[in-house]
Amino acid sequence: MKKHGILNSHISEVLSRLGHTDTIVIADCGLPIPDHCIRIDVSLKIGTPGFIETLEVLLDDMQVEKAMLAKEIKTHNRPAEEEAAALLKGIPVDYLSHEEFKKEMAKAKAVIRTGEATPYANIILHAGVIF
């Protein structure tokens, strides 16, 4: 059994297969997920696990070079945007419309669906390299 890092075998597998610039998404429970994307559903009930909790765990185990958020998060969910920015600690963040976000999401290797139930609590993470 793993002692450290993400215990969810599906997330762990996806992270181990990522190459430079590949993307994964952390999604709230309402974001439509394209049928062709790998869906990793970790939701247990409304709010659990949350967006920020899931982002925090992924950032501990994934090299991220860039992130993308819907610009609507700035006006409709400022607390989540501020907490995400604090966790990203200097990682560049691009803001795009929610519609553009959904188009970019379609390129992701996987979407991790959380129990988050606040607006625009979604992020696209771009894999970096460790060397």
* Residues taking part in catalysis: 20
Q: Using an 8 Å Cβ cutoff, are 24 and 112 in contact? A: yes
Does residue 119 have a cis peptide bond before it, meaning omega lies within 30 degrees of 0? Answer: no
Q: Is 61 annotated as a binding residue?
A: no
Residue-by-residue DSSP string for 5-39:
S---HHHHHHHHH--TT-EEEEE-TTS---TTSEE
35 annotated among ligand-binding-site residues: no
Q: What token pair was written down for 30? A: 């309402």
Is 8 among the annotated ligand-binding positions?
no
Backbone angles phi, psi at 69, to 5 degrees: -130, 155
121 is in an annotated binding site: yes
* C-alpha pair distances (Å), 93 with each of 15, 48, 71, 87, 122: 20, 25, 10, 12, 13
Known binding residues for substrate are: 28, 98, 120-122
